[in-house]
Structure formats: C-alpha cells, structure tokens
Amino acid sequence: MSWLQPTPVPKVHLLDAGLKKVDDYTGVYLINTEHPAIVETGFSYSVPRILEGLEQLGIAPEAVRYIVPTHIHMDHAGGAAGLAEACPNAKVFVHDQAAKFLVDPSHLVNSVARAVGVLFDRYGTMHPISEDRLERVRGGERYALEQGFTLQVVYAPGHAPHQFCLFVPEHHALFTADACGIHRKPLAKLVPTTPPPAFYLGQSLDTLNTLKALQPKTLLYTHFGAFDTQDLIDRYAELLTRWVADVEDTLDTLQDPEAVLKHFVRKLTPLLQGHYDPVMVQQEIEMNTQGVLLYLKRQREG
C-alpha cells in the first residue's frame, strides 16, 4: 500500500504519517531532489512508513541530506531520532532555542503528556538525538537541494516559539508548519491550533504577515495537504483573531476557566463529531481553548 501522493510542487510528495485511528491528519513531505530532504517526521511509529515512502521514490536512506521537523511538537518531531538513525548522513534541523529538547526530549515528552491527556498513546515517544547530528537554525538560512530548488528557513513564532516554516522561492511554495492553522480534510475548512503552553496571538499574526509577504502560491500543510488557495493566510488571520476574541468574551462572561472549557466542548463538538472519535474531539477542543486561556492570563497579568 502507498501512502504517498504528489503535490503541485515538482519533486515534492506528501505522505500520510499515520496518526493512530485517523487518516489524512498529519503529513510528512518527501523531497526527491539531488540532495533529498524530509520535511516533518510524524510520530516515532511513522518511521517505517516514511522509509517505505523513500523506497517507493527510489531514495536511499543514505542519500537523505536533511531531516526537517518545523518545530519540536511530537506530531512534527517524534520521528526525528528514528529517521536520523536510518539516514546516517542527514542533518536534523531544529531552531537554536529548542535544540536541547532534541538532545534530551524527556521534559518535552512529559509536557506533551500533560497537554494531550488520554490521547498520549497516539503520540508515540521521542528518543535523544546526538548534538553533532543537529543543524541549528534561527531564520534566514538557505539550503540548495539542487539547482532550482532552495529551502529558505523563515522564523515563524506564535504557535510555538521554536517554530519555523520553509519557503521554496523557485516554486513559490511554503511549508506552513502550524503557522497557518490546520486544514481539516473531512470538513474542507481551516480550524485554529492554539495549544498550550506558548501560543501568542501577536506573534502569530506577525508571522502570518511575514509569510504573506513571501507571496506563496502553494501552501503545504502538515495538517493536511497542498493548496493553491492564496487567501488561506488572510482567512487564518481572521479566524484566529475571532477565536481568541470568542474565548476572551466567554471568559469575561463566565468568569471561570473550567466553565469556558466545558462551553467550547459543547459548542464545537457538533462540528467535529462523526469525523473523529469523541475522545479526540474533546481533547483537541480543550487543548486549543486552554492555550488561549493561558495566553489571556499572561496578557492580563502583564
């Protein structure tokens, strides 16, 4: 069985990383260039599927030059260590301020366990990566995969302080990480992603302006798929602003964060039920609401 599909960007293929019990939710991009690259790594249990995808494209693991999780959340970086072991000549990208969490992921894993609760078994695990395998980036770096195909690192905080996107100027293509939201395939719509502990609205909106200024024509979403709709960045800025305002208004009305969580579970569950299992629906709504509540708490406390 093949989990690969082509994208509008030449030499870029999307592979379903295989979140347990959910298809078309988390993606990995395989770039079949002179110096091959893997953008995002899925979960620790995604590695065999990714290696199979490389084989289908005729890419030897030893030929992979770069492994690029756009940030260290486990659905993006969980497979990094396994891929680094399988691809011995590849460097693993990480933002400079987050490198320590790939060298010793124990704190990160514990943080994710607290954030995702009962769904933690779907996130696999993370193993350490040796410091000498890391390629530390801060934004602005450029990597030539071949003539006519360059990866440009674009620092993209807001969803997480260690997040970056990748832009391919020759093809006007943008790997969005989670900076442009989540595109739900079953719903054919954008939804916000505002997880704790480090969501920040102002940085998110600044990042969206930065990405828009690149004038991308194709957006390559980790969650999930490639889109040529150029207004997605503006649409997400509006959606994100409304979402935060809605949570803030509800908090001002109810005056109780726990009541706010219950309110949004009741309000949003009908939009997602039937597409995802009930536990996943509740946890995701609570997680994104909690991320905004923590942001508002920081703002109000100064």
pLDDT per residue as tens digits for the range 173-189: 999 999 999 998 767 78
Average pLDDT over residues 131-153: 97
- 116 occurs within a structural domain: yes
Give residue 151's pLDDT band: very low, low, confident or very high (50, 70, 90): very high
DSSP string, the chain: ---EEE-SSTTEEEEE---TT-SSSSEEEEE-SSS-EEE----GGGHHHHHHHHHHTT--GGG--EEE-SS-SHHHHTTHHHHHHHSTTPEEEEEGGGHHHHHSTHHHHHHHHHHHGGGGGGG-------GGGEEEE-S--EEEEETTEEEEEEE--SS-TT-EEEEETTTTEEE-TTTT-EEETTTTEEE----TTT--HHHHHHHHHHHHHT--SEEEETTTEEE--TTHHHHHHHHHHHHHHHHHHHHHHH--HHHHHHHHHHHHHHHHBTTB-HHHHHHHHHHHHHHHHHHHHHHHH-
* Residues above pLDDT 70, as percent of the chain: 97
Has residue 116 got a pLDDT over 90? no
pLDDT at 139: 96
Give residue 148's pLDDT band: very low, low, confident or very high (50, 70, 90): very high
Q: Is the model more confident about 282 or about 41?
A: 41
pLDDT at 188: 72
pLDDT per residue as tens digits for the range 230-270: 699 999 999 999 999 999 999 999 999 999 999 999 999 98
Question: Positive or negative, the Cα torsion across 211, 214, 215, 217?
Answer: negative
Give residue 285's pLDDT band: very low, low, confident or very high (50, 70, 90): very high
Most confident of 5-14, 102-111, 115-124, 276-285: 5-14
Is residue 19 classed exposed, middle or buried when 0-12, 13-18 and 19+ CB atoms within 10 A define those classes?
A: buried
The token duo for 103 is 């060298």
Give residue 113's pLDDT band: very low, low, confident or very high (50, 70, 90): confident
Give residue 133's pLDDT band: very low, low, confident or very high (50, 70, 90): very high
Domain carrying residue 220: 4-242
Has residue 171 got a pLDDT over 80? yes
Distance CA 117, CA 56 (A): 36
pLDDT at 272: 80
* Residue listed under structure tokens 């939710």: 25
Distance CA 229, CA 246 (A): 26
- 184 occurs within a structural domain: yes
Average pLDDT over residues 92-120: 86
- Tell which residue, 193, 190, 167, 165, has the closest CA to residue 177: 165
- 94 occurs within a structural domain: yes
- What pTM does this model have? 0.94
Average pLDDT over residues 192-220: 96
Has residue 112 got a pLDDT over 80? no
pLDDT at 2: 67
Round the CA-based radius of gyration of the chain to a whole number and report it: 18
Q: Which residues contact 250 (CB under 8 A, 6 or more apart)?
A: 260, 263, 264
* CATH code: domain of residue 109: 3.60.15.10
- 39 occurs within a structural domain: yes
pLDDT at 184: 82
- 249 occurs within a structural domain: no
Number of domains in the chain: 1
- 75 occurs within a structural domain: yes
Q: Is the peptide bond before 197 cis (omega within 30 degrees of 0)?
A: yes
- 16 occurs within a structural domain: yes
